[in-house]
Amino acid sequence: MALLELEDVTAAYGRVRVLEGVSLSVPDGGAVGILGSNGAGKTTTLRAISGTVNVGGRITFDGQDITSVGPEKTAALGIAHVPEGRGTLPNLSVRENLLVGAYLRRDRAEIRADIDFLLDLFPHLARRISQNASALSGGEQQMLAVGRAFMAKPRLLVLDEPSLGLAPSTAQDVYEAIERLRKESGIAMLVVEQNANLAFRVVEAATILETGRSTISGTTEELRGRDEIRKAYLGG
Ligand SMILES: Nc1ncnc2c1ncn2[C@@H]1O[C@H](COP(=O)(O)OP(=O)(O)OP(=O)(O)O)[C@@H](O)[C@H]1O
Ligand SMILES: [Mg+2]
């Protein structure tokens, strides 16, 4: 069964409709990408999931209708978002940022174990554990944002363009960290990217979004086999 399912979802800012029909499905324990160019509606699709825009159609999570329930409820159900632009807390240390991610949890021993697990996977963060987030590089801040979301112990991690604003080699480092997290934890992911070469390191399937509509969906293997996808999203 699908963990997250969007069926013909529409979304609007006020009366301006920007999603015209988005359908996609993330299997339980699976990783799925949303690919699309600037302004295609990727971020809005994520806002539709967390219920911060006016939504039509149907969104279910773990069999439950979550259409328009709002961000507190979706977070409580186990959807953790890493927004565009990261949003780590600059004046808190790396460790404190991770603890903020776990603020709804009471399982102290497990929280400690999860922090150790993350620091093992993300040595960049381990080296800077006591430093303020503001002292981190862009790539390190992105890793911290992902780690912080993971600390909520979600069932689904939603990442909005983790590579945004990063140099290509740094973006590769960030994706290597995400790939490791995915492999070692098995957590389900929904990953928004413009660059399919990066997203395909992590996801098994993807949906193409064009001007507010999901057009083509398939496994990464199927998508790699299509000329128009290779040209538009894989650099030829
Ligand atoms: N807060 C807002 N109010 C009104 N229109 C918005 C708002 N945010 C986005 N839009 C519009 O909605 C459309 C989709 O934007 P969205 O941010 O979802 O695209 P995106 O695929 O995430 O793009 P990018 O790759 O640049 O992040 C765009 O036309 C954008 O101008
Ligand atoms: Mg966006």
Give the CATH number of the domain where residue 197 resides.
3.40.50.300
State the distance from the centre of ligand 2 to the C-alpha of 209, rounded, in angstroms: 12
Q: What is the pLDDT of residue 235?
A: 82
Neighbours of ion ligand 2 (CB under 5 A): 42-43
- Residue 129, helix vs strand vs coil: coil
Centre a 10 Å sphere on the Cβ of residue 107 and count the other Cβ atoms it contains: 11
Centre a 10 Å sphere on the Cβ of residue 45 and count the other Cβ atoms it contains: 28
Nearest CA to ligand 1 atom 9: 44
- Out of 9, 15, 43, mutate this one to test ligand 1's pocket (max ligand atoms within 8 Å of CB): namely 43
Give the number of the atom of ligand 1 that is nearest the alpha carbon of residue 37: 25
Residue 235, φ and ψ in degrees, nearest 5: 70, 40
Domains in the chain: how many in total? 1
State the distance from the centre of ligand 1 to the C-alpha of 171, rounded, in angstroms: 22
- State if residue 97 touches ligand 1 by the CB under 6 angstroms criterion: no
The tokens 């490791």 sit on which residue? 180
Residue 146's domain comprises: 2-233
Query: What's the full length of the chain, in residues?
Result: 236
Q: What is the pLDDT of residue 87?
A: 79
Nearest CA to ligand 1 atom 16: 41
What is the mean pLDDT for each group of 10 consecutive residues in the chain (236 residues)?
96 95 98 96 97 95 95 95 88 96 93 96 95 95 96 97 94 96 97 95 97 97 93 84
Q: CB-based burial of residue 183 (10 Å sphere; 0-12 exposed, 13-18 middle, 19+ buried)?
A: exposed
Decide: 46 and 160 in contact? Cβ < 8 Å.
Answer: yes
State the distance from the centre of ligand 2 to the C-alpha of 161, rounded, in angstroms: 7
Give the number of the atom of ligand 1 that is nearest the alpha carbon of residue 84: 27
* Alpha carbon 46 to its chain's center: 9
